[in-house]
């Protein structure tokens, strides 16, 4: 199976380790991974801040780059939700504004075949044990878009539970937002920071060494908070845990 | 009390108002305790119902159908109310509604009224308008009483005094009750039973004396002209039955076609609101009856921005709201910012979409409300009429930053973008350009990587909001796409960029 990796602009620029982990993991599972260099950004930050018309060229660009692939895999719940949930809405709004079906038709091909990583592993590849080894105490934060937009449910948890050596501990208030919310973190910095601090305290109370999530944007906010609060907790993307093996352990 | 929120320029934008609340430990403690308690109880009460999803869908459909044919159902309602002996008044805005009510009270010769909790009258600032006309209005809902005596503002739809704890309430009663009527008993403690008894004695005098009652309504049934109030104390029932004249001020979106439709909402509202299987006091009245209850009944149908909201294809779903406040109780932003930060009688997620539609986005507070959310989606999940609050928030953000067509006071207008977004808009356009050109993105990434040792730990400009409380991740030595090209070589797909 040949899939395109949509890494997302944030991961490409700031978290290349996550990208390398996804490539390593999928290759190990027998998937032929391609990284189309034309890719940039799904447009989520633009859309969520109110710049719908600025989002449209980015969505069209995404469709141009990924339209030909069998499947598109991304290690970001919120970017996957952008494509799956909001691209159809972009098309619908354009139609309502009297601009016809062109945008909807352009975007339609990528919508059903774009998958968040854990969803791709469980639903498409049909695996929960990916042969990983990660001997640490881990707590899992289900990010909002993974939880409520994509309905990932217990897929990430099932993947983590199958990792050898990993002790999974329940995060109190797991389903509460960490406070990132894209530009919300800047526009309402005080509330955002208070939410982040509460999330970090909840994670610390579990005694976990690692806080794991399937979205680096949330981890950037949580990690920035743990760093400032001098917490020993390490934010780690789930791809890096799943890619880790006894022979080639994650750092 | 300063109950009115409408048109008051004094309200700071949400981020500033929220900052104060975030720094107030007592307030945050009160809110956290209360919202988490109600949230857990509601989840249990909803889980008991096997057909909750169907009920939610039925509620959504009934409301959408009614809103779609609102003109028809409102005319039917007017006919039914008139036939039952009531009088219907139409109020286009707050000023008109206040004038109608003040004139009606003045005509009775009374200078005091009792009120059952009504958000519509809070919305229009009725108490202040009555005061200006020489009429004193007494709130009789326990929480509203606390808010009124405390010269405070409500901070929650259902629990207006949620931001107060028992000790604070005791102090307010002891200090203020005497100013308004029967004083609190000496040596009042903060036990709930004693506080409730003090309120009961204080309020009973008002109920027995008042000749005019003012109410809101949760629902209005078009086929019979029946109004419905759902409350949990019984104080509302006293206001509805004891006075000689009853004036109900109700938002026109509260109409439902038939009694059958109530069946759905009388299941979803109490469970969503207070986690009760059945509402304790559901009062219904239809016009007047000769022997019992008020002898005169007036219904003031309030528009005040509602038909403008109805004209908006995305935003109109906010009018489905049945004021259960479940969205407030699950909202992580409300939990930390408190109700006052929203500058409206409608706080929390629903307030963040309702107020900028009813009032427009011209003021600083209204332009800031669509951003008072991290778009986590918890509000949509709990909403018993399935209002997609995140969708409307993003839609209103678009109105703030890009402007666009809207309806104000019945006229089609083209709104200009709100002030203060020019720099952001320029940045978004520049980012969009760079992101539509992979080469530009790559140049930026490489520049960031090469200068990584020079990056400051704290950011200038708007970025300061981030680096004030959080550290930035270090920029890696090599962006992923450079690693990929170095290790995989081929330029596969860059050419696809247009």
pLDDT in tens, chain B (498 residues): 333 444 444 678 999 999 999 999 998 998 999 999 999 999 999 999 999 999 999 999 999 999 999 999 999 999 999 999 999 999 999 999 999 999 999 999 999 999 997 999 999 999 999 999 999 999 999 999 999 999 998 899 888 888 889 999 999 999 999 999 999 999 999 999 999 999 999 999 999 999 999 999 999 999 999 999 999 999 999 999 999 999 999 999 999 999 999 999 999 999 999 999 999 999 999 999 988 899 999 999 999 999 999 999 999 999 999 999 999 999 999 999 999 999 999 999 999 999 999 999 999 999 999 999 999 999 999 999 999 999 999 999 999 999 999 999 999 999 999 888 888 888 898 898 888 888 988 888 888 888 888 888 777 777 888 888 899 899 999 999 999 999 997 655 444 433
Domain residues for the domain of A45 are: 2-124
Q: What is the pLDDT of residue B216?
A: 97
Last residue of a domain, one of A98, A124, A150: A124
**Residue A54 with chain B: CB contacts under 8 Å:** 428-429, 432
Q: How many CB pairs under 8 A join A and B?
A: 214
Q: Are both A84 and A38 inside the same structural domain?
A: yes
Asked if A155 and A76 sit in the same domain, the reply is: no
* Whole-number pLDDT of residue B162: 85
Per the structure, how many domains does chain A have? 2
Asked whether residue A143 is assigned to any structural domain, the reply reads: yes
What is the number of alpha carbons within 13 Å of residue B42 lying toward its C-beta? 24
Collapsed DSSP state (helix, strand, coil) of residue A16: helix
Contact B337, B348 (CB under 8 A): no
Q: How confident is the model at residue A139 (pLDDT cuts 50, 70, 90)?
A: very high
Q: Which domains does chain B have, with CATH numbers?
A: 11-48+325-418 (no CATH), 64-304 (3.40.50.10420), 437-483 (no CATH)
Contact B333 A188 (CB under 8 A): yes
- Tell me, yes or no, whether A108 and A172 share the same domain: no
Question: Within 10 A of B281 (CB to CB), how many other CB atoms are there?
Answer: 14
C-beta atoms of B435 and A190 within 8 A: no
Residue B181 neighbours by CB distance under 10 Å = 14
Whole-number Å distance between alpha carbons of B471 and B387: 36
A104 and A164 co-located in one domain: no
Q: Which of A96, A124, A152 is a domain's end point?
A: A124
Same domain, A150 and A119: no
- Is there a single domain that holds both residue A164 and residue A106? no
Q: In degrees, to the nearest 5, what angle opens at C-alpha B381 toward C-alphas A58 and A220?
A: 50
Answer whether residue A129 is part of any domain.
Answer: no
Domain termination site, one of A81, A100, A124: A124
Do A109 and A144 belong together in one domain?
no
Spatial separation of the C-alpha atoms in residues B389 and B353, rounded to whole Å: 7
Q: Is the pTM here over 0.90, yes or no? A: yes
Whether residue A7 is found in the same domain as residue A119: yes
Q: What is the pLDDT of residues A3-23, one digit of tens each?
A: 999 999 999 999 999 999 999
Give the domain CATH number at A198. 3.40.50
Selected residues 127-166 of chain A with any CB under 8 Å from a CB in chain B:
144-145, 147-149
Nearest residue on chain B to A37, judged by CA atoms?
Answer: B494
CA closest to A21 among chain B residues: B480
Find, in chain A, the residue whose alpha carbon is nearest to that of B492.
A36
- Give the residue ranges of DSSP H helices in B293-437: 306-310, 326-330, 332-337, 348-358, 364-368, 378-382, 389-402, 422-435
Q: Nearest Cα to A51, choosing from B441, B311, B400? A: B400
Dist. CA A25–CA A15, nearest whole Å: 16
| Residue in chain B nearest A16 by alpha carbon | B480
- Asked if A7 and A31 sit in the same domain, the reply is yes
The answer to whether B415 contacts chain A (CB < 8 Å) is no
What pLDDT does residue B10 have? 62
**A23-52 burial by CB neighbour count: b if 16+ within 10 A, else e?**
bbbbeebebebbbbbbbbbbbbbbbbbbbb
Are residues A20 and A86 located together in one domain of the fold? yes
B457 at interface of A, judged by CB pairs closer than 8 A: no
Contact list, B436 vs chain A (CB under 8 Å): 40, 57-58, 61
Between CA B309 and CA B311 the distance in angstroms is 5
Chain B positions touching A197 (Cβ under 8 A) are: 469
Please indicate, yes or no, whether residues A194 and A142 belong to a single structural domain of this protein: yes
Q: Does A81 share its domain with A173?
A: no
Is residue A130, in this structure, part of any structural domain at all?
no
* Structural domain contains residue A131: no
The verdict on residue A93 lying in a domain is: yes
Residue A251 lies in a domain: no
Q: What is the pLDDT of residues A100-128, one digit of tens each?
A: 999 999 999 999 999 999 999 999 999 99
């Amino acid at each position: 199976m040949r899939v395109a990796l949509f890494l997302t602009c944030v991961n490409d620029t700031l978290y290349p380790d996550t990208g390398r982990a996804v490539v390593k993991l999928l290759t190990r599972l027998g998937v032929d991974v391609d990284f189309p260099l034309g890719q940039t950004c799904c447009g989520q930050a633009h859309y969520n801040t109110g710049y719908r018309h600025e989002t449209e060229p980015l969505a069209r660009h995404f469709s141009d780059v990924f339209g030909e692939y069998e499947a598109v895999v991304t290690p970001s719940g919120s970017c996957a939700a952008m494509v799956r949930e909001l691209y159809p809405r972009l098309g619908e709004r354009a139609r309502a504004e009297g601009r016809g079906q062109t945008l909807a038709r352009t975007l339609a091909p990528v919508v059903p075949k774009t998958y968040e990583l854990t969803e791709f592993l469980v639903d498409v590849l049909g695996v929960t044990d990916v042969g990983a080894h990660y001997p640490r105490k881990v707590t899992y934060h289900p990010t909002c878009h993974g939880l409520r937009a994509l309905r990932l449910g217990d897929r990430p948890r099932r993947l983590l539970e199958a990792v050898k050596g990993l002790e999974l501990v329940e995060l109190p208030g797991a389903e509460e937002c960490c406070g990132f919310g894209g530009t919300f973190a800047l526009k309402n910095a005080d509330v955002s920071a208070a939410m982040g601090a509460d999330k970090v305290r909840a994670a610390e109370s579990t005694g976990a060494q690692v806080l794991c999530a399937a979205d680096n944007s949330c981890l950037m906010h949580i990690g920035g908070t743990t760093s400032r609060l001098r917490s020993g907790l390490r934010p780690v993307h789930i791809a890096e845990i799943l890619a880790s093996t006894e022979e080639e352990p994650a750092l | 009390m300063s109950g009115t929120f409408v048109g008051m320029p004094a309200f700071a934008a949400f981020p500033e108002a929220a900052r104060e609340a975030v720094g107030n430990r007592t307030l945050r403690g009160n809110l956290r305790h209360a919202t988490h308690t109600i949230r857990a109880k509601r989840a249990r009460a909803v889980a008991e119902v096997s057909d909750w999803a169907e009920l939610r869908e039925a509620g959504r459909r009934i409301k959408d159908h009614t809103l779609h044919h609102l003109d028809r159902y409102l005319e039917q309602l007017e006919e039914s109310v008139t036939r039952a002996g009531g009088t219907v008044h139409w109020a286009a805005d707050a000023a008109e509604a206040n004038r109608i009510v003040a004139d009606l009270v003045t005509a009775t010769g009374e200078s005091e009224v009792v009120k059952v909790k009504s958000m519509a009258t809070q919305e229009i600032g009725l108490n202040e308008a009555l005061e200006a006309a020489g009429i004193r209005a007494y709130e009789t809902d326990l929480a509203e009483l606390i808010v009124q005596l405390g010269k405070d503002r409500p901070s929650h739809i259902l629990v207006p005094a949620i931001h107060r704890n028992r000790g604070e309430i005791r102090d307010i009663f002891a200090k203020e009750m005497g100013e308004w009527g029967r004083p609190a008993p000496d040596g009042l403690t903060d036990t709930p039973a004693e506080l409730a008894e003090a309120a009961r004695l204080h309020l009973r005098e008002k109920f027995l004396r008042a000749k005019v009652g003012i109410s809101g309504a949760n629902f209005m049934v078009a086929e019979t002209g029946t109004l419905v109030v759902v409350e949990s104390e019984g104080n509302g029932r006293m206001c509805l039955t004891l006075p000689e004249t009853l004036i109900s001020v109700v938002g026109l979106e509260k109409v439902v076609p038939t009694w059958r439709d109530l069946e759905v909402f009388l299941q979803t509202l109490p469970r969503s609101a207070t986690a009760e299987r059945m509402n304790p006091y559901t009062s219904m009245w239809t016009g007047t009856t000769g022997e019992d209850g008020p002898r005169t009944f007036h219904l003031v149908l309030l528009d005040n921005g509602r038909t403008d909201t109805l004209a908006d294809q995305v935003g109109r779903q906010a009018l489905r709201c049945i004021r259960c406040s479940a969205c407030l109780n699950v909202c992580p932003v409300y939990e930390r910012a408190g109700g006052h930060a929203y500058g409206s009688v409608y706080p929390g997620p629903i307030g963040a979409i309702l107020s900028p539609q009813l009032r427009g986005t011209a003021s600083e507070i209204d332009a800031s409300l669509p951003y008072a959310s991290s778009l986590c989606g918890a509000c949509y999940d709990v909403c018993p009429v399935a209002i997609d609050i995140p969708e409307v928030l993003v839609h209103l953000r678009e109105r703030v930053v890009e402007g666009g067509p809207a309806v104000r006071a019945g006229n089609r207008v083209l709104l200009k973008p709100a002030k203060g977004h020019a720099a952001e808009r320029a940045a978004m356009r520049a980012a969009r350009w760079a992101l539509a050109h992979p080469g530009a993105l790559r140049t930026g990434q490489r520049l960031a990587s090469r200068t990584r040792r020079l990056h400051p730990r704290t950011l200038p400009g708007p970025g300061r909001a981030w680096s004030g409380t959080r550290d930035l991740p270090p920029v890696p030595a090599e962006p992923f796409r450079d690693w990929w090209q170095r290790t995989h070589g081929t330029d596969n797909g860059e050419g696809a960029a247009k």
